[in-house]
Structure 1
Amino acid sequence: MEKEPENTPEAERPGEDYEEVITTHINADFDALASMIAASKLYPKAALVFPGSQEKNLRNFFVHSTSYLFNFAKLRQIRLSRIKRLILVDTRQRDRIGKFAGIIGKKGLEVHIYDHHPDSEDDVHGDLEVVRKIGSNTALLTSLIRERRIEVSPVEATIMCLGIHEDTGSFTFSSTTADDYRAAAWLAEMGADHNVVADLLTRELTTEQVWILNDLTRSATTHAVNGIEVVITEVIRDDYVGDFAVLVHKFMDMENLNVIFALAQMEDRTYLVARSRIPDVNVGEIAVALGGGGHPQAASATIKDRTLVQVKSDLMAILKTAVNPKKTAADMMSSPVLHIAPEETVQKASDIMTRYNINVLLVIDDQGALLGYVTRQVVEKAVFFGLNHIKVADYMNIEFATVRPEATLKEVQELIIRTRLRILPVVEDDEVVGVITRTDLLSILMGDQTEPELFYDAKSTPQLPRTKNMISLLNERLPDPILELLRRFGGVADDLEYNAYLVGGMVRDILLKRDNLDMDIVVEGDGIEFAHEYARIYGGRVRSHRKFRTAVLILPDTTKVDIATARMEYYEAPGAPPIVETSSLKMDLYRRDFTINTLAVKLNERHFGVLIDYFGAQKDFKERVLRVLHNLSFVEDPTRILRAIRFEQRFGFKIGKLTLSLIKNAVKINCFKDVSGQRLFHELKLLLMEQNPIGAIEQMDVFNLLPVISPQITYTDAFRNLLEEIENVAAWYRLLYLDEPFDAWKVYWHALTSALDPQNLRELAKRFGMNDLEGRALVEQREQSEELLNILFRFQGDNYQLYCLLTPYHTETLLYLMARANNERVRKLISNYFTRLKGTRLHLRGRDLLEMGFESGPLFRDIFEALTEAHLNGRVKTREDEVEFVRRRYPAFPGAERAGKAEAT
């Protein structure tokens, strides 16, 4: 059969006038197929049409099974202009429905949508939209069929059940809902053949395919092409291995990649499989250049007579011209702009450059006019020659170029390279709104983590953010109320024309799949105003701190959210508190400690869920390395060293080589000497609160940090044994499942200070600011623990005497003594107290004594103490025993005769 020419007018093509068409997304899977068949039960007159190619296993399923049972038509048979109702299933994205996107918005066209995917910017809007958060789109449609009491055949039920199983991982994916189970159960009642489902779903990868998937993973490299991250991976096999595209797709999903080019040399050919999820990379055009073809999102090519090395070289050359990100100067610039007035002195310029770690400083007058710029080299030479007092205007460079925010990457590139600019101001309405350095441009073009101009100490800081969409991960990891709260934050930010971001530990732990619901929000705008506006709309209270431009939003359910204005900090001296100034998100993140804590998720509605990574944090996650942002980080805030140890132990990361060197240098110059004791104690407390702090304490010894706490603390074998015993004792106590919790960090604190005599202990407590009730009690009990331990060694009393001896002491102190004693008898005494004595409860209460005729007063205390002694020493057990004991012990109390008669009656 001759192929129909592509340029044939639609009116002249053979076809049928279908007024209703059901379609799905390109590269349909089983859930898409099953959704189409399910939708045909709701729209029996509609034709089923795929918008493009299907996956191979799906094509085979159709060819060899049941296509003849359903009203499927080929796309070339459809006159698009005649369609009056378009039914979209398992998608609503315009760029995923092929040629059907061309009729969206056509006058007279009715669009019905049935989808279970999250919202996206490219979504089509319909006259009818049924969108529900559910594991499988087939299950959504099945529930509608069931509600309308529409019968389905066993074959239909089988295909629909197959769709549910595929998209829920046979009910193992976290996105699975109760509705998925209910739909599958009903389909089973309708005759779904689970043998067919199992046969189609359990076609596991062959051994060879598993090895290829492994090779794809190991050989993958990331390249930044014109600022876009592209992954290239390759394999070589002597024989042909099928389903290479399936393996590439699986790898792309495993690594959550946006763009991938996979090369496979098999037999005498090289195969290319390309996938893209972003509009900046049209893999169809790139595949065409290599002799293949496809769509912007999926393409392939088969290349003869070229080795894999040659094809890879050709691909790299094509990428440099084919990848065209729509980046503008506004996307690339750093803001706000640090500047100096022309009448200020060279010394002032030097101070600003040192304070903010910058190499170039713009000169702007009080009217906002840009006059020029000065460089660090010029300023340092002027200071060296004693010209500190000379005005900046006398030494500034007055030859410069500027660009507008909408200038393209190409324009910026030509200006910086042609005129050899170190810095390119971005100007709008005669006001400088940002700057682009030549290193910013180099990072964009080359993708290497080169030394930036603006932050010259951050030797591995990429200047453009690496982004990806995190909506699916947010949906997986966060409860619905938290997601709704984050969306509300984005809405308030939109109303105020601010940008709002989720930052910090919560973002980090979402990626690490650890539980953490402590929200930190950063606002590019006024964080305090943002908090008050949210409270006005949705309720809540606000506590603000004007000096640091931060607020705590206390929601009606008492949840607390920290909200901060995007800010930057500088330190006037090592260890001193930071000075805070308003800034942008990038500079706010730059002030943080480690790259893994610099991630941000945008909350504004248009870009909700977009992960922003300025400093290569995702790479560090993958390599499981802890890396500091800039070289003076530990000098500015030495307590970050304890934080590095804490994160290293908690996440199982390794401290990077440069970061390790910086830690050792900071300790070597005694950087802790000016750190306040309270800040040091705060970080030490957090370290001891980790699940297993022993490894962290060992690392403190490795870095020679224990003397920072006290010169008396040394890491000996005995100290190590004590820590291990505490770990065992704490585990034993947890297994008792007692009602009374305990703070394990306090037990380790007692161990850490066990070598200190009372005077040194009190001096340490004073230095650490332990003057609150908790701190004083901690110190007092540590002081008394040695005496208590000596008493326990000699103890010969009964249970009541043991109870009276140990009751004044906290659980943490007694657990410390159990570990410290190294004596079985002492341990048994304390164990007996925890398991038998401490939880003793009397049956009689004050009201019982009143009913027995006693008058309330000091006698009550005597009676209860006597009862407690009798209980603990086994002389009374039941309530009756207690009543008899009281009557026998206190026979001559007022009203006894009356109480006795009343009881007899």
Structure 2
Amino acid sequence: MKVITTHINPDFDGFASCIGIKKLYPDFEIVVSGVPLQNLKEYLRIYEDNFLYITSEQLKKINEKIEELIIVDTPGLERIGDEIKQKLSKKAKITVIDHHPDIRDEVIEEYTFNKIIRQTGAATTIVVKMLKERGIKLTKEEATLLGIAIYEDTGSFLFSSTTLEDFEAIHYIYSQGLSLETISEYIRFDLTIDQKTLLHNLLQNSKTYNIENHNVTIAHDETEKFIGSLSAVVSKYWYAQEPETLIVVVRMGKKIFIVGRTKSQDVDIRGLMAEFGGGGHRQAASASVSMASVEEVIYKILNTIPKYISSGLKAKDIMSSPVRTALASETIEQVNRIMEVTGHSGIPVVEENKLVGIVTKKTVEKAINHGLGKRPIKSIMSSKLITAKTETPVNTLKKLMIENDVGRIPILDENNILVGIVTRSDIIRATHSQTIIREAETNPSFVNIKDLMNKRLPRRLVNLLRLLGAYGNELKMSVYVVGGFVRDLLLDIENYDVDIVVEGNGIEFAKYIGQQFDAIVVPYEKFYTASVIFRDGFKIDVATARTEYYEKPAELPQVDISTIKKDLYRRDFTINAMAIKLNPSEYGMLYDFFNCQKDLEQGIIRILHNLSFIEDPTRMIRGVRFEMRYNFKMEEHTLEVLKQNLEGGYLERVTGARIRQEIEKILEEDNPMKAIRRMTNLNMIKHIFPKTYYTQTMDEKLARLFKFLPKIKERYQSVSDFYAISTILLEYYDKQTLETVRARYGYPKKFIESIKFTENIMLPLKEMIELRLNFSDIYKVLGKANPYVYLHLSAYLTDEGQSYLLQYIDTISSTKLQTVTGKYLMGKYSLKSGPQINEILEKLFAMKLDNPNIDEEKVVSEIIEMYNSKLEKETENQPERE
């Protein structure tokens, strides 16, 4: 096991350093010992899902020794958790990364120590420098966490320990998207005596007003002398009281200073301060006025602020709906199964249509471990319900989660009926994105297109679809044809790959079809799907209308029976999320819940929800394929989400087999170079092949390779396009990375060896072909190679060079020794089987490449005579032995 850790009871600097090092060494596990300090603990209540780590308690359950350990923000083993020390193997390799002076010079003989100690304001600064040197990209959340650590440990760059490297580190992570607003919520610092007095007075002279459903706190004070760093005092108030919106009004001498802050996306503090001649940011701004009283300023604030409060996002805008619930009477085992299928870590409990409690996965697992699985879920549910209304602002939801330490809040309508649920993830997405894709924002459309089907589809297929609808009626199931078939029908593109979805049991429906047509049925029980293969080879796929729940990003989904609307909502893009009903009463009815036709008409690729690329990162590649195939464009928000998730490393979490499958589909398109260039522009190639630097030269090589590829396919069977482009994309990889890529994407070892072989002979071979040297000379270097060596070589050749290479390939393939064989040589010249015979045959074959009409027996006799002559000379030159 490989572990990253920091001191017990970590602060921001220790924890952030661990997260940064994990970016450099993804195969290490972060272990946190003890309880995080209060401000870090508060931070993790909201942002914990963005950072993967295990606790020392969880470490105890892992039966492995620690072979490598990286310790950050502490100079040795003394302050790390005992559980980690106990699991250290003998001769463990230990690396220490710290910014504190190493005054003890700790050395323990049984361990190998490597210490990286630099005098910086924060350990995180050292880690950021390492990330920068390696060109590692950060997500916004990661950059902000690292920023908080540096700001806190340098006292916002005011501590004497602050160095130039600390400023450079902040500069780098600022470019990666750190949020200063979030940083300002969590950093801590001390105040002077005057500042503490001012803070005390502000706390005494404060009042909270409810304005447009937002809580606005106004605090005021007056002093005859000037007190510096009013913003620091305001920050202390902010941390201590955690108001939603805070406005501080302080008279110092003859001048009044106003400072405002808000957590709400709906309150425009900058606009408010502009009324007083000030400025700043939307959520933090200030102003100053002269010749006015504190009372006058407060009066103007109360009368002016309503116009700077917008309605903003409410619970109804970000909640998940409908809600997966459990009945109070269901057993703990049944609820555990629901959680396993859906991937939910918490489920509301209802009884007689009323919300009565909520239960978490941890509680359910504990109950099952204690043998309580047969008991009703209501026996372990929490009746302490924190709920909110559909109109509750997002910031209020956030505050409720923090104050009550809950990860999800059920949402009730005006009749107190459960209509949705909001999780931590929903809050984070709403906080960092102003655009929320919700199916509620669309206008469902239902139009009958049976005439279009009759016009554009073959009669045989129309008859089959009508029959499938009739069979659905017989089984009391609604039957739909969905996905790409519908998309291409509307685009008037031939596509007879029929995907059927039924509201019912898909496998049962498929078996019924099989009986009617005497067809073969291949069921896939785990996914509630089946394939029906007709006698003439025509195939249709049948699925149960379902919602796919992804337990972890990039994993294959668990499946739960659902409705057609939910089934369509799980799909990749709107253009693929339409269905046509086939039952007789509604035959030909097009179901469009998400404005799909509009996107199809406008040539837009749009995801259906913000987690689409996280649930299945291969959709990023698929989106490019659809863009290029139809000459469409990704919608702006979809493109933004794609880039965020790409930089978040989600594509790396997918198995190599699935990525390879998507690339192979791209290579089947009419013009794959367009897609490869688009993937390059999106920086996607870098996330698929980590050391591939796509340049104009590489682009030209691939273009030449694609031109040569059809000619190779005419001469060889089963040539893989994926292997073909890999000869260029994997050029000049070091052995270690090449082996990693080989294992990830399943390349044969011989293929990788052929790439390295071609690299070594490329330059001389290119020159030989350009000079049109004899085939016999080329054969001595190249031999009879596999098709991928020829393809690799073609990428370096002009049209004339490729033409000459084809002549060589054809000559190699057609040339055969007719009379001279190994058996012939052994019989006529009494040669023994071995390397000499192979050498003679190779020499004769090479000569025949240049002159196919040579007399083989005559030429071979000359070759053997030359060999014998050479042997005699070597014997004569040997010194005599005494």
TM-score (norm 1): 0.45
TM-score (norm 2): 0.46
